[in-house]
Amino acid sequence: MTSAVLTQGFQWKRSSAISVTLALHGLALIAILAPPAYVAVERAAPAPVLAVTVKKEEPPPPPPPKDLEVVKFKPKAAVRPQPVPRPAPVQPVITQETTPMSTPAIDTPPEPGPVEAAPVEPALGVLAYRSRTTVPYPRESTRAKEEGTVILRVLVGVDGVPQEIEIARSSGYARLDRQAKNSVMKWRFEPGTRNGQPIAAYGLVPVAFKLTEL
């Protein structure tokens, strides 16, 4: 019984020694494998930076402009057109013989005879009478109490006989105007004259219709 206890006590010491040995070996191994202690390493100072100033070169100023030469404009002299000479007219040659270049003779027109002078229009005036009759008053106009003055424009021939009669100014009534024209057509007048010769001329003839003169 005593030997068994001793045996167990001996084993306990032995296991303790082994444990210690193993622990020491583990510590040694850890010391070997552990990284080295931190050693502060001084950083190298940065290289000094040199400030370089770059000077910008300005371009040279442009040269001053040259004085412009003023050229005076000289108008060209007007060129007058030269007259173109006209060809001389070719007179046709009239011969009795017939040739390819001959032209028939042109009959000379007869000289105009005396032209009858156109009737002279008087600026203002009344024709002179040779003979005249009383103008009858239309009965219808008397009943209707129509009055007025008709001014007729009469063309008198060289013999004093009326050739044309127009109404220059109406009396306002057609019956009175018509009666005046019919009556004056039977009158005779003194013709107009030019250089002492009778000519056909126009004249104004007034015809008045008044109920008080009946």
pLDDT digits (tens, 9 = 90+) for 54-110: 666 777 777 776 666 666 666 666 667 677 777 666 665 555 555 555 555 445 555
pTM of the model: 0.44
- Domains assigned to the chain: 129-213 (3.30.2420.10)
**In 8-85, where do the E strands start and end?**
none
Predicted local distance difference test score (pLDDT) of residue 5: 45
pLDDT digits (tens, 9 = 90+) for 107-153: 555 555 444 455 555 444 677 889 999 999 999 999 999 999 999 99
Q: Answer for the pair 209, 177: CB distance below 8 angstroms, yes or no.
A: no
What distance in Å separates the CA atoms of residue 190 and residue 192, rounded to the nearest whole number? 7
pLDDT digits (tens, 9 = 90+) for 142-183: 999 999 999 999 999 999 999 999 999 999 999 999 999 999
What distance in Å separates the CA atoms of residue 180 and residue 134, rounded to the nearest whole number? 10
What distance in Å separates the CA atoms of residue 119 and residue 132, rounded to the nearest whole number? 22
